[in-house]
Structure 1
Amino acid sequence: LKEVARTDNPNYLFIYVNIAASTKPGIVRIKFTEGAQSKIYNYELKARTDKSGALGFTPADVLYLITPDRFANANPANDDLLGVKVNRTSPNARHGGDLAGVGKYLDYMKDLGITTVWLNPIQENGGPGGSYHGYAITDFYNMDPRYGSNEEFRDLTKVAHQKGLKMVMDMVLNHCGSSHWWFKDMPSKDWINNGGVFMQTNHATVSVMDVHASETEKKTFLDGWFTRGMPDLNQRNPHLATYLIQNTIWWIEYARIDGIRQDTYSYMDFDFLARWNREVYAEYPHFDIVGETWYNKSTSPAWWQRGTKLGPKDPSLKTPMNFSLTFITQKAFDAKEEKGLENIFEDIAQDFIYPDPYHMLTFLDNHDLSRFNRKEDSTLNRYKQGIAFLLTMRGIPQLYYGTEVLMTGTKEEGDGRLRKDFPGGWAGDK
């Protein structure tokens, strides 16, 4: 026993233990005593796995991004769990896609030339709204039962590996869902930013690197919440930081995933992110982490990449996301003159600022953006040019599910329309 820590909330106790390398897996009996009362908790210490199994990914890979609720439903029995009914007529409701549906299409992805499957968050989102997108987590250690079980996810990853595919898990450490027990009974007063009281973030992503930004602007950005339904976590709390790091390592060990895409990357505490990266890479040197570094300027994500000299210290992130190139590319092939391609050239001419421009995630679209094939009347030539550009440009390319079958959708229609059901993924689909 290394340390027993208490907080201002008597309902919580933090126990830190040292586990020797020679310790065998099994049940550890922890006895809690208060006065004449005592209680035994059986904690299972699981076996470690071979660290070389976490493969990571490189510019030789192609990622295929899937919103699981909208991809394929191969197990209708889990559709209406947690009190939320499936309603495919509503773009913002749950539609019933699941892990079994993803597994059904692994051979399809393999034939398509995909090497790596990236799933939007699949942990429990137990709020009353259903949170089909997965970004309002209510249990960081368990799958949402409407997708399947932890065992099903582990088995899916195993089968993917057998087919030569890698698996990337979307993680959300910036916030939780408002139905999480942390929000209902905060482990400490500073567990949730702004004392657990809603404050809207200003989304000023550049403020963390802006030498002219005021402290108020930075604080509103970092401590503000995305929505009332997504309380913002305070990673400066040492117990929470340790919990999130251990949870990450647990998933890598348990499910044998090959990489992580970290949501809302720049919205979190810089020191925590640097530590999180270091500790994950110390355990799994070949692992890879993609950070959602959403900036309009091509140079800004360089502030976050491992090896940069731009920030206060090495941020340790291997793979930032190249949003600026996406925004330019979505317009470049609409241009009537050569200026469209010239804009691409001017953007990638800034690559000198990156420690490793070949380790950027490049993409035409994703679950938050208008699809590259925006309208039914988008031209096939434009589509072909965009795909050819993506697959031959420097970086690690990511395709969004349905791009290969010309799925459409615009941001103006609402996010639900960007995440339409994959054709043929449901029984009876035509």
Structure 2
Amino acid sequence: MELQSVRDIDFAGFAGRTYFPSPPAWEDQVLYFLMLDRFSDGREDNYLDNNGTLISTGSTPLFATGDAENVSRVQWEAGGHGWKGGTLKGLEGKIGYLKRLGVTAIWISPVLKQVAFQDSYHGYGTQNFLDVDRHFGTAQDLKELVQTAHEHGIRVILDVILNHTGDVFSYNPDRYEHRRPDGTTYMDPRWDGRPHRVSGFNDATGAPIFPFGQVNANAWPDGAVWPEELQAGGVFTQKGTITNWDYDPEFREGDFMSLKDVSHGSGETDHYKPSEALKVITDCYKYWIAFADLDGFRVDTVKHMDPGATRFFTSAIHEFAMSLGKEQFYLIGEITGGRERAFKTLEITGMDAALGIDDIPDKLEYLVKGYRNPAEYFNLFRNSLLVQKDSHIWFRDKVVTMFDDHDQVRKGKNKARFCANDRGWLVVLNALAMNLTTVGIPCIYYGTEQCFNGKGLVERDGNDMFLRECMFGGTFGSLQSVGRHFFNESAFVFQEIAKITRIRKQELPLRRGRQYLREISGNGVDFGPPVMMGDTIRSIVPWSRLFNDVEVLVAINTDYNNPSASWVTLDNDLHRAGDLLTCLYSTNPAEIGNQVSVEARNGKAVRLSVPAAGFVIYK
């Protein structure tokens, strides 16, 4: 059934159904974020299906080392624009791949219908909030994907947009010309604090031929905006393009380039009056929860919304999900502007977690590569001065941690995946392992487990496109390849992460424990925190996770070339001299099962050895 109005939604029909429950604790989960258009088209050959059976009937061969850089950079770049062909069915066929990696929840880029005349493969230009974009498949495909994921114990978080629609109308007069990635141009006025006149709703080609109001049947399905309630007057702010991204109210009222800002309501947060448009969009997302049995939302561009609007949406969605039996339907906010803004927004709006896209990925990436003091990363999880809370544990389920992502706002025009610079492929396992064993809800960005190395050329651009290579190959595979897929479960990083996620699942301290950066010593007498010597740190970096009188000791070695050994401090009250810690994991398999003895040094300590560019877990 094609839904053209929220009045067509049969919410009563969803009552009485059995829905997949929320997890007891989201910090127990391992998230995996993927750009759907770039993940799988279902045509891969020589990969394991959801049941672990080898599939050898596809048309796209598995990437091999000799396939790297098998085309020119110019040809490869040209293949990166626009829709590439990833589908919901393709993703459904890779649920087993994700389960065997240790993933327990997938975060999928937006899937709703996009503006027809734009190549918005990323999904952030919605034209119809009640339909799935045909490039990805159908609403039924989404429902079946979620069902398959649930059958394998994997939850599904959908990326959603409240702040804006796609380029569904054109301004009049046309005063400012902008160029799209495909070379075509569009005209928009920029924000100056006042509403601008509108020519009309756009048709499937981008021409504003429909009245800016209730449209006729000729606009369905690719013209104007849907559901039809969003065609009413006052739905859009109509104030033009943002140019100053830090000026309030410009960044709340303006358009994201061609993406049209929605008017959410008015008033102070505690007395906010939501607009009819906000209520309609909220009802649309309630529908998708019930129809597809979704488990959470990642909410886009929260910074650009009124706090009262975010609070309204959060409350409405939580209550609706609870009515279906989803007691902890998770809402993750993309809140740019630093940690202080993120923490304040969470407390004001009631959202469950913030996406750590500023300091966390910067400090994590460059600590692992040896260019940050470890305390800079570990101190991010304390922040008692900012939030008036002393417990490290407060952050365990309030922040989603990652280092690679699809935007890398923090890097400006120097955007590049972790493996693109500083021989990152040698230590990407350490970055993933550190993400999995430190405080927060860990999230893996697709392709990182296969050492994707996308990077823009700074002298020309820092385009997001280079962070969004195709797992299924096509014209824009990673490592400058074409026509090769990357679902390689025998790859070293994939295999080792699968081992680490199994240990994480077994050891409660690694998921919920308090966290302490540990002091080290070369001579067993003089202890201090691991620090940079000059411009780098090349040593062991150890930390402990403590939960209910159990300590798990974890460490990386930031020296790419040499093993490192140090005395490492432990909790003095939990150990006695002569106690033994056993190696649960090491990047040197021969060390697994080895034991180290606790000695009375700096309270209590053990002598720990970590392989070059290696990672270990002891208990």
Fold-level similarity (TM above 0.5): yes
Task: Within 5 Å, give how 1:68-147 maps onto structure 2.
Answer: 68-74=36-42, 89-147=78-136
Matched, 1:247 2:292: no
1:383 to 1:170, Cα distance in 2 relative to 1, 3 A: same
Find out whether 1:286 has 2:253 as its counterpart. no
Change (3 A) 1:143 1:75: farther
Q: How far off its partner does 1:381 sit?
A: 4.0
Q: Which amino acid aligns with 2:339?
A: S
Gap regions ≥5 residues in structure 1 = 1-13, 17-27, 29-41, 77-86, 205-216, 309-313
In 1: Cα distance, 2:85 partner to 2:95 partner: 18
Of 346, 362, 376, 1:327 maps to 362
Shift of 1:347: 2.4
Q: Percent identity?
A: 22
CA distance in 2, matches of 1:165, 1:371: 29
| Equivalent residue in structure 2 for 1:191, among 217, 235, 248 | 235
C-alpha displacement of 1:342: 2.6
Q: Could you tell me how far apart the structure 2 residues matched to 1:44 and 1:257 are?
A: 15
- In structure 2, C-alpha distance between the alignment counterparts of 1:290 and 1:93, rounded to whole Å: 27
User: 1:208: which partner in 2?
Assistant: none
- SS at 2:245 equivalent: coil
Question: Does 2:84 align with 1:55?
Answer: no
Partner of 2:452: 407
- Taking the aligned partners of 2:385 and 2:448, their CA distance within structure 1 comes to 31
Pick closer, same or farther for the CA change 1:292–1:44 going to 2, 3 Å. closer
Structure-2 change in CA distance of 1:171 and 1:342 (3 Å): same
Tell me how far apart the structure 1 counterparts of residues 10 and 433 of structure 2 sit (CA, whole Å).
Answer: 52
Specify the alignment match of 1:35 in structure 2: none
Partners of 1:247 and 1:303 in 2: how far apart?
27
Q: Per-residue deviation at 1:90?
A: 2.8
Shift of 1:173: 0.8
Bigger Rg over Cα: 2
The separation in 1 between residues aligned to 2:248 and 2:134, in whole angstroms, is 37
Give CA deviations for 1:218-243 in whole Å, capped at 9, x if unaligned.
11110011112x00111116210110
2:418 is aligned, of 357, 367, 373, to 373
Between Structure 1 and Structure 2, which shows a larger proportion of helix residues? Answer: 1
1:358 equivalent to 2:396? Answer: yes
Q: TM-score, normalised to structure 1's length?
A: 0.76
Structure 2: 5+ residue runs without aligned partners? Answer: 45-75, 170-199, 203-209, 214-230, 266-273, 322-326, 409-414, 476-481, 486-619
Q: Displacement of 1:199 after TM fit? A: 2.9
Q: Matches of residues 251-400 of structure 1 in structure 2 within 5 Å?
A: 251-284=288-321, 285-295=327-337, 297-305=338-346, 308=347, 314-323=348-357, 324-335=359-370, 339-350=372-383, 353-354=386-387, 356-359=394-397, 360-369=399-408, 370-375=415-420, 378-400=423-445
- 1:402-427 Cα deviation digits (max 9, x unpaired): 00010012364411111001155799
Q: Which residue of the other structure, out of 231, 248, 251, is the alignment partner of 1:218?
A: 248
The one-letter code matched in structure 2 to 1:235 is H
SS at 2:418's partner residue? coil
Quote the RMSD (CA, aligned, Å): 2.9
Distance in 1, matches of 2:110 and 2:384, equals: 31
What is the aligned residue count?
359
Residue identity opposite 2:260 in structure 1: P
Q: TM-score, length-normalised on structure 2?
A: 0.54
Aligned partner letter, 2:401: T
Letter in 2 for 1:257: L
**Is the alpha carbon distance of 1:300 and 1:270 closer, same or farther for their aligned partners in structure 2, counting shifts above 3 Å?**
closer
Alignment counterpart, residue 261 of structure 2, candidates 223, 227, 232: 232
Distance (whole Å) between structure 1 residues aligned to residue 146 and residue 129 of structure 2: 18
